[in-house]
Amino acid sequence: MRHQRTGKKLGRDASHRKALYANLTGALIEHGRIKTTVTKAKAVKPLAERMITLGRRGDLHARRQATSFLRSRDVVHRLFADVAPRFQDRPGGYARIVKIGPRPGDSAEMAYLELVDDEYVAAQREERATAVAEPEPETAEPEVEAEEAAPTAEAEEAEVDEAEAEEAEAEGAEEAPEPAAEAEPPAEDDAK
């Protein structure tokens, strides 16, 4: 029986309504988020979720069914290649409706129809995560640089001391080893 299966008419005839649903669903798949009226969003949401389910199936028959509804090979390719794999582990509920208030012109209730794990939402999530995580790497990097710089300075001092010792041995001067001995105790003080 097909009782109570009419759905919303939206003031359009059947072909116009079918084209509207296909266009809105294609725009949602392509952009991840669309702004429309609440009534249209409620009518399109189940259709969009059905298309994502077809994309999750991924077989040839599902691709042909999606193409017959969406009427665009580019959108179908994006659905099967990009959108559906993101929802592979999700059992349903791929889209949400977020009400945003009345439209200024005619006071129609407006809403965002968006994919739950959309790139836009994921990008915002990443931005928040990097904003929180940024202070930690910044504080860690200067410590690493200071540790790397310290052995380099000590190595340069050791090379200079060795060069002076070699020059002193070559000249046969007895005073050269005494400054080298004096240079070692400050190095011990630095280590403390």
* Bridge partners of residue 99, in order along the sequence: 111
Burial of 28 (0-12, 13-18, 19+ CB in 10 A): buried
Collect all residues with Cβ–Cβ distance below 8 Å to 42 and sequence separation of at least 6. Answer: 8, 97
pTM given for the model: 0.61
Burial 130-155 (b: 16+ CB within 10 A, else e): eeeeeeeeeeeeeeeeeeeeeeeeee
**pLDDT value, residue 63:** 97
Integer Cα distance of 55 and 53 in angstroms: 5
**pLDDT value, residue 128:** 74
135-178: pLDDT as tens digits: 555 555 555 554 555 555 556 666 667 766 676 666 664 454 55
Question: Contact, 55 vs 80, CB < 8 A?
Answer: yes
Collect all residues with Cβ–Cβ distance below 8 Å to 116 and sequence separation of at least 6. Answer: 87, 90, 93, 94, 95, 96
Question: Contact, 60 vs 108, CB < 8 A?
Answer: no
Residue 33's nearest CA partner among 74, 69, 70, 83 is: 83
Could you say which residues of the chain have pLDDT below 70?
118-125, 134-160, 163-165, 167-192
